[in-house]
Amino acid sequence: MEALTSLIGGFGVLADPMNIVYMFVGISLGVLIGVLPGLGGANGVAILLPLTFSMSPVSAIIMLSSIYWGALFGGAITSILFNIPGEPWSVATTFDGHPMAQKGKAGEALTGAFTGSFIGAFFAVLLITFLAPVIAKFALQFGPAEFFAVYLLTFCSFVGMGKEPPAKVIAAMMLGFALAAVGIDTVTGQLRMTFGSVELLRGFDFLVAVIGLFGVGEILLTMEEGLAFKGKSASINPRVVLHTWAQIPKYWAGLLRSAIVGCWMGVTPGGATPASFMSYGLAKKFSKNGRNFGKGELEGVIMPETAAHAAGTSALLPMLTLGIPGSPTAAVLLGGLLIWGLQPGPLLFVEQKDFVWGLIASIYLGNIAGLIVVLTTVPIFAAILRIPFSVIAPIILVICAVGAYTVHNAGLDIAVMLIFGVIGYLFKKLQYPLAPLVLALVLGDMAESSFRQAMLVSQGHLSIFWSNPLVGSIVTLALVMLVWPLVSKVMARLNGGKEAAAAE
């Protein structure tokens, strides 16, 4: 019940009308970002982050997290109306969403997607409300070895759960760690990998990397696909909304399943994208109408959206309690916390109660506000999408350049952003995942210092990672995750091709 009291306190923080204004501004910007190609949750928040330096941390996080919710909602609009996923996690939404729009049921598909998103997020924020204080209290006892073990688990999960080849996941991740190490070593003050360059002293800022990888890289990919926006028009009226809502309760089991899948994938850094696919696959398997999936089934729209939004929201749980973000966007928000002078992690719940509970309360309100905004403004955003790419693309690139510059007021960062854009394009094409790179870049310094502290404590013996049951089990679990691709490959070979064929 302590959580409830704190939550009510959090709503008190929101009573400031300016915070509500920031919330609506954030949601609207977020939907816009989610709709536009090349701008997504991660780089959208990264670009706007410098603008919030002058705000109070509470207002800033409310606005930025609202952008995130808005972007989660917005991705569905393009998927359904244009068959173009605005965000990677809404790819699964296109499977049934666009066929529905072609049948003239765009309004129902959109309502279903938005409502599914809302339910997923609501489930996840309930989880955060009641689980976060418990985890934070627990994590207060963590030493450097435990923290490193959790970092290790985070990174090994990428290897174990990613769809990409494990060697590529590891290479991308290590690139992130190596880039994070560039600059002054925080412990000894020595220069690392600067090669005599003054510009490299600063190191590589992950915000610049995110803007390049996700923004410029995405524009290049969009260009390659040669997109022509040919969309269906949408009209949402109250009758369609109510009619769709009336159908939703009968999917309760599927919704619950999707929300759980989403939360699991969000807390462990599987992310929203695999969560949406997994949820779509499960719904197809379990639904009575499974055969109709892909032809325009409402259930096929709701389920992936529920999971994606649950994952996106619950990614904040490990970020707030342990300082380990579950998604690239959560990583950018974490970067924001550091810039505002807040140290993410368990102490946040003790020292910055207003901030944490204000944020959690804003997730509740933000998603209600988001639902209202998207349901009422879909035609406007659909109209924005009809602006041709040759107008949108240069504007987005200009915004990316401005965003990269304002991170450190450094002109060279714009060039670095462009290089990261090319890297992002190559990585996407060659199946190197971007999320581990970004997370390694964000967490590199913290992971390294906890590793070195742990090593200092043990005088260089790795046995410290098995010195008590807690750290031992986390490390062991991490190693299992790491070798999981090998294990599953061996098991598949032992079972022969027969079962694999049956599973197809």
Partner 1 sequence: MSTESGHSAPTAHNEKTVTNRTMDAAVALIFMALAALVMSDSWRVGARWASDGPQAGYFPFYVGLIMFIASTVTLVTALVSRHPDLGNFVDRSQLVSVMQVLIPTTVYVGLIFLVGIYLASAVFIVFFMWWLGKYPVAKIIPVAVGVPLALFVMFEIWFLVPLPKGPLETALGY
Instruction: Give the number of residues in contact with partner 1, rule: CB under 8 A.
Output: 59
Distance CA 293, CA 278 (A): 14
Distance CA 20, CA 126 (A): 21
Q: x/- binding map, residues 222-261, to partner 1, per CB under 8 A?
A: -xxxx-----------------------------------
Q: HEC profile for 129-189?
A: HHHHHHHHHHHCCCCHHHHHHHHHHHHHHHHHHCCCCHHHHHHHHHHHHHHHHCEECCCCC
429 binds partner 1 (CB under 8 A): yes
* 8-state DSSP, 53: T
Q: Rounded to the nearest 10 degrees, how much is the dihedral formed by the CA atoms of 92, 161, 290, 95? A: 10
Alpha helices in 184-271 (DSSP H): 206-210, 217-225, 238-247, 252-267
Range 42-101, binding partner 1 (CB under 8 A): 50-51, 54
Element (H, E) at 229: none
Q: Least distance to partner 1 from the beta carbon of 188, Å?
A: 5
219 binds partner 1 (CB under 8 A): yes
Cα distances from 68 to residues 246, 278, 305, in angstroms, run 28, 22, 15
Q: State which of residues 191, 260, 282, 347 lies at the interface with partner 1 (CB under 8 A).
A: 191
Place of tokens 């990672």: 465
| Closer residue to partner 1 (CB): 224 or 499 | 224
Stretch that binds partner 1, among 12-20, 246-254, 428-436, 485-493 (CB under 8 A): 428-436
411 binds partner 1 (CB under 8 A): yes
Stretch that binds partner 1, among 25-33, 185-193, 235-243, 259-267 (CB under 8 A): 185-193
- Minimal CA–CA distance to 333: which of 374, 362, 307, 304? 362
478 binds partner 1 (CB under 8 A): no
150 binds partner 1 (CB under 8 A): no
| Closer residue to partner 1 (CB): 9 or 166 | 166
39 binds partner 1 (CB under 8 A): no
Taking phi over 0 as left and psi of -120 to 50 as alpha, with beta for the rest, 460 belongs to left
Q: Least distance to partner 1 from the beta carbon of 185, Å?
A: 4
Distance CA 338, CA 143 (A): 20
Element (H, E) at 409: none
Stretch that binds partner 1, among 93-101, 112-120, 360-368, 448-456 (CB under 8 A): 448-456
Distance CA 224, CA 393 (A): 13
137 binds partner 1 (CB under 8 A): no
347 binds partner 1 (CB under 8 A): no
Q: State which of residues 100, 448, 464, 474 lies at the interface with partner 1 (CB under 8 A).
A: 448
Q: Least distance to partner 1 from the beta carbon of 227, Å?
A: 10
| Closer residue to partner 1 (CB): 460 or 497 | 460
The torsion angles phi and psi of 127, rounded to 5 degrees, stand at: -60, -45
Cα distances from 441 to residues 166, 209, 311, 351, in angstroms, run 18, 9, 21, 26
Stretch that binds partner 1, among 106-114, 331-339, 418-426, 463-471 (CB under 8 A): 418-426
| Closer residue to partner 1 (CB): 260 or 410 | 410
What contacts 24+ positions apart, CB below 8 Å, involve 287-295? 287/254, 293/95, 293/96, 294/95, 294/96, 294/99, 295/96, 295/99
192 binds partner 1 (CB under 8 A): yes
Q: HEC profile for 310-363?
A: HHHHHCHHHHHHHCCCCCHHHHHHHHHHHHCCCCCCCCHHHHCHHHHHHHHHHH
Q: State which of residues 425, 438, 442, 482 lies at the interface with partner 1 (CB under 8 A).
A: 425
409 binds partner 1 (CB under 8 A): yes
Q: State which of residues 101, 216, 322, 474 lies at the interface with partner 1 (CB under 8 A).
A: 216
Interface residues with partner 1 (CB under 8 A)?
50-51, 54, 165, 167-168, 170-171, 174-175, 177-178, 181, 185, 187-188, 190-193, 195, 216, 219-220, 223-226, 388, 390-391, 393-395, 397-398, 401-402, 405-406, 409, 411, 414-415, 418, 421-422, 425-426, 429-432, 448, 451-452, 455-456, 460
